[in-house]
Chains A and B, each alone.
Chain A
């Protein structure tokens, strides 16, 4: 059954995923093309200097990409379920609804993680040609919060889609806005290092909102 669910999710999202992949690849390519030109014209020393003496990790152009990708994927995955009333049908399938929802969410999170990993690896690979591992690690640690915002964007958008009542939708929206504000509060490199594990736990815990929304939906609560 898991395979069927995953296949269903794949059919629903494959073009969207391809679009997100291409958009992320294009933006990442553009970001590093700019840096490559800086290196070509002014030398790699300028990248070192910027990374060491300025509040930058040089990849700020990619800052909001993971969050947008996460929200888009959630919309692509769950809007059709809501709009075409497919969720009701899905929940009546002879399979535990919790596991079904978990499979759907894990599909989305895994797809996002793969996209983020691809981008992070490409960034590390390109940067390591110009700067030492210590500075590459600094860039990746800073980007990790953007990916966390991507997972948060995915989970909260999914929760919003699955939530049947407006009252809770507004509350979810408020909390999501606060969390995203917090995740983009500082542009200082490695500002979130110590707080990151707690934020990760919080974002993971927010996955429970999907199940809570479905439980309310099953009870017939709907605006």
Chain B
């Protein structure tokens, strides 16, 4: 038994040192690194990055090194330019107004850590057409179960039987196959309007479920069938240009239009490994994906999501001490990893 104790403590201490020493080394030696905020410019027609060099003020630099002021991003800084009276009235050869620019400003993001974790199969259900117009806190929740999606009244924690029956009948009528795999939604009343949830079924088909007047409606998007959708974002932007973003089995980003049309883009990213930041305006969407190695940018035309330009920015290679760790910035699990 003495020997067992020695071996147990010895192995445990080795694991402890492999965990603590690299962590300590990296904590002491790693330096913060930030990349400049970059957007595709509708005036310069190139990617422009915010230059924070000392003494240069608030300036943008394009990929060729040319320096610009706020006018390089007239849509992103529209309010600032408008307050100075320098907002152009014509952009990309068409008349624009501040209101139109603001209505078409979109921002979306996703983080692998939000996906790579154990999530409860419970989804708060908002009323999309509230009686008094303003969105209210949800009263019911969807509970995804093996052979159904139940609707439970939260206040009493009881199943709303008739509502559940009607909802599941609607799901089946649209060809939904249980169990549901993925729910994408923003169950918060702090938004302009509610589009409910985008849901994938066991066959990765995409559906929208949305509560209107206490009845949950189901809509199937046949154009997304066969894409093997494994990630979705619901957008709920002021301009109603899209209903959501889908990522197919080959990791291509697709735009889901409100009419059900699915537009494939050239943006390729793995939502389980890469961060996504999408900033769009009236003319262009800048999509940034980032990993530990670097950033990739895509500029898409807002009207049809066709590719306009790309940019890659690798991070400087910084050696970090390899060792044992139990957490990761990419997931929410505790498990050993090298």
Contact = CB atoms under 8 A, between A and B. Distances in A.
A205 B15 CA distance: 15
B5 A175 contact: no
Interface in A43-82: 43-45, 48-49, 51-53
Given A45-B154, A53-B187, A171-B13, A211 B118 contact: no
A206 B15 CA distance: 15
A178 B19 contact: yes
Contacts of B157: 44, 128-132
B155 A45 contact: yes
A172 B15 CA distance: 14
A44 B120 contact: no
A48 B141 contact: yes
Given A53-B187, A132-B152, A171-B13, A48 B333 contact: no
Contacts of B6: 212
Interface string B1-43: 1101110110011011001100000000000000000000000
Interface residues of B, number: 38
B326 to A, nearest CB: 6
Given A49-B124, A135-B122, A185-B334, A208 B8 contact: yes
Contacts of B155: 43-45
Contacts of B9: 168, 171-172, 175, 209
Contact of A213 (B5, B124, B332): B5
A212 B5 CA distance: 5
Contacts of B154: 43-45, 48
B154 to A, nearest CB: 4
Interface in A182-223: 182, 185-186, 188-195, 205-206, 208-209, 211-216, 219
Nearest to A202: B12
B137 interface: yes
Given A48-B154, A195-B333, A195-B334, A53 B124 contact: yes
A175 to B, nearest CB: 4
Contact of A215 (B2, B15, B138): B2
A135 B141 CA distance: 12
Nearest to A183: B334
B205 to A, nearest CB: 23
Contact of A188 (B1, B187, B332): B332
Interface of B: 1-2, 4-6, 8-9, 12-13, 15-16, 19-20, 117-118, 120-124, 137-139, 141, 143, 152, 154-157, 187, 326-327, 332-336
Contacts of A189: 118, 120
A189 B333 CA distance: 9
Contacts of A205: 8
Nearest to B122: A52
A138 B15 CA distance: 30
Nearest to A179: B12
Nearest to A139: B120
B139 to A, nearest CB: 7
Interface of A: 43-45, 48-49, 51-53, 98, 128-132, 134-135, 138, 168, 171-172, 174-175, 178-179, 182, 185-186, 188-195, 205-206, 208-209, 211-216, 219
Contacts of A128: 157
A188 B120 contact: no
A71 to B, nearest CB: 18
28 contacts: A43-B155, A44-B154, A44-B157, A45-B155, A52-B122, A52-B141, A132-B122, A134-B121, A138-B118, A168-B9, A172-B9, A174-B16, A178-B15, A178-B19, A178-B20, A191-B332, A191-B333, A191-B334, A192-B334, A195-B335, A206-B8, A208-B5, A208-B8, A211-B1, A212-B1, A212-B4, A212-B8, A215-B2
Contact of A175 (B13, B137, B336): B13
Given A186-B327, A205-B8, A216 B123 contact: no
A211 B5 contact: yes
B143 A132 contact: yes
Contact of B326 (A49, A185, A190, A212): A185
B5 A134 contact: no
A168 B122 CA distance: 48
B120 A135 contact: yes
B120 A191 contact: no
Given A44-B157, A48-B141, A174 B13 contact: yes
* Most chain A beta carbons < 10 A, residue from B5, B6, B143, B152: B5
Nearest to B123: A52
The 9 A-B residue pairs whose C-beta atoms are closest, nearest first, are A212-B5, A190-B118, A45-B154, A211-B1, A178-B16, A188-B332, A175-B12, A215-B1, A195-B335
A70 B114 CA distance: 34
Contacts of B143: 132, 134
A3 B4 CA distance: 29
B13 A51 contact: no
Nearest to B16: A178
Given A138-B120, A171-B9, A191-B118, 15 more contacts: A43-B154, A52-B141, A135-B120, A168-B9, A175-B13, A182-B326, A190-B118, A192-B333, A193-B118, A193-B333, A195-B335, A211-B1, A211-B4, A213-B5, A216-B2
